[in-house]
Amino acid sequence: MELDSDLAGTSDTEVPVSPAPNAAAPPLIPVPPPRLSPSGAGTFVQCPRRWRFRYIDRLKDPPSEDALAGSFAHRVLELLMQREPSERTIEEARVISRTEWPDTEAMDDYQALEHDEKQSRHFRWKAWTAIEGLWHLEDPAAVEVRATEQDVEAELAGVPFRGIVDRIEQEGDGLVVTDYKSGKAPSHRYRRSRLDQVLLYAAAVEASTGEMPVRARLLYLGQRTVGMDVTDKEIDAVTEKLAGTWTEIRTACSEDEFEPRPGPLCGWCPYVSMCPQGAAEAAKRADRKAAREAELVAMAS
């Protein structure tokens, strides 16, 4: 699970210094975050304006059932993999799930979903399906765990980087960086790009410990494993890409220019109502979809 470390190091309680009486207030220039995470970098590449809303204006994303179910599954698997190998069973995972559930149920974000009993059961089923999916991919008892939820922080290609690695394990030929995913596995076309996150984690592990992982992988729970060998060429490529994004972020902040990048994801953006271009794009795509559906109905009648 990834730490939203772009927001780390700042305080909601900090109070700006007021200008002297009768003095013109200086313009507020956005300040880049102290560190960059894969999620922050990915958000900026997707849409600089959405990045601004999230990391400069600090607008909170609305509660998401999928995200909360994924977080719950991650927590259960974290605790499971901290057990002795012989205790990493489905039965033990059920015990952990029952123990951890009250804390999740009491969270403000979960309460904001306003689930009734039926919806709550569906939520728990969705989370449990992800948890149980680990056994479709591996035998947890056979994993030699070195660390879980490992905080990694390093300077990568001049970029202050931070993230949290779900799992670091030891295999016969070296370390493996593993991240759990509860969402849908990508098609072959997008598999390589999804691995940037764990490759950056591998680079940070090497920078902070001196030991370069030999493999990086994503476990799409209940579906399949997507992974690759870690090579200097791959590390250079992802850190160079990260450095380019960091430069763009710093430039955008210094110029206070965060242009939107309208596209198919605008309809799912939590800030679409605050972005005229995004709202227009979402409406245009909704109209096209409605027109196609109407055409199909007319053809079928």
- Per the domain annotation, does 215 fall within a domain? yes
pLDDT tens across 187-203, in order? 988 899 999 999 999 99
pLDDT tens across 104-133, in order? 999 999 999 999 999 999 999 999 999 999
Q: Are residues 113 and 199 in the same domain?
A: no
- Number of neighbouring beta carbons within 10 Å of residue 14: 6
Q: Mind giving me the DSSP string for 57-122? A: S-PPPPP-HHHHHHHHHHHHHHHHHTS-GGG-SHHHHHHHHHHHHHHHHHSHHHHHT---HHHHHH
Region 56-76 average pLDDT: 93
Region 92-96 average pLDDT: 98
What is the residue range of 289's domain? 266-295
Q: Which of 88, 105, 136 corresponds to the end of one domain?
A: 136
pLDDT for residue 22: 47
Q: Are residues 226 and 153 in the same domain?
A: yes
CATH number of the structural domain spanning residue 197: 3.90.320.10
Q: Are residues 168 and 131 in the same domain?
A: no
- Per the domain annotation, does 260 fall within a domain? no
Q: Which of 87, 112, 136 corresponds to the end of one domain?
A: 136
Q: Are residues 168 and 192 in the same domain?
A: yes
> What is the distance between the alpha carbons of residues 41 and 240, in angstroms, rounded to a whole number?
12
The rounded Cα 26 to chain-centroid distance in angstroms is 35
Query: Quick one: which of 103, 71, 76, 88 has its CA closest to 183?
Result: 71
Give the count of domains, the chain.
3
pLDDT tens across 138-188, in order? 999 999 999 999 999 999 999 999 999 999 999 999 999 999 999 999 998
- Per the domain annotation, does 120 fall within a domain? yes
- Per the domain annotation, does 125 fall within a domain? yes
Q: Are residues 81 and 168 in the same domain?
A: no
Q: Are residues 191 and 274 in the same domain?
A: no
Placement of tokens 């965060």 in the chain: 258
Q: Are residues 159 and 132 in the same domain?
A: no
Strand bridging mode 174-181 / 215-220: parallel
- Number of neighbouring beta carbons within 10 Å of residue 157: 16
Strand bridging mode 224-229 / 159-171: unpaired
- Per the domain annotation, does 122 fall within a domain? yes
DSSP, res 269: -
Q: Are residues 201 and 113 in the same domain?
A: no
The pTM score is 0.86
Q: Are residues 153 and 234 in the same domain?
A: yes
Q: Which of 114, 136, 158 corresponds to the end of one domain?
A: 136
> What is the distance between the alpha carbons of residues 55 and 7, in angstroms, rounded to a whole number?
7
Q: Are residues 132 and 73 in the same domain?
A: yes
pLDDT tens across 5-20, in order? 555 444 333 333 334 4
pLDDT tens across 204-238, in order? 999 999 999 999 999 999 999 999 999 999 999 99
pLDDT for residue 78: 98
- Per the domain annotation, does 19 fall within a domain? no
Q: Are residues 112 and 176 in the same domain?
A: no
Q: Are residues 160 and 235 in the same domain?
A: yes
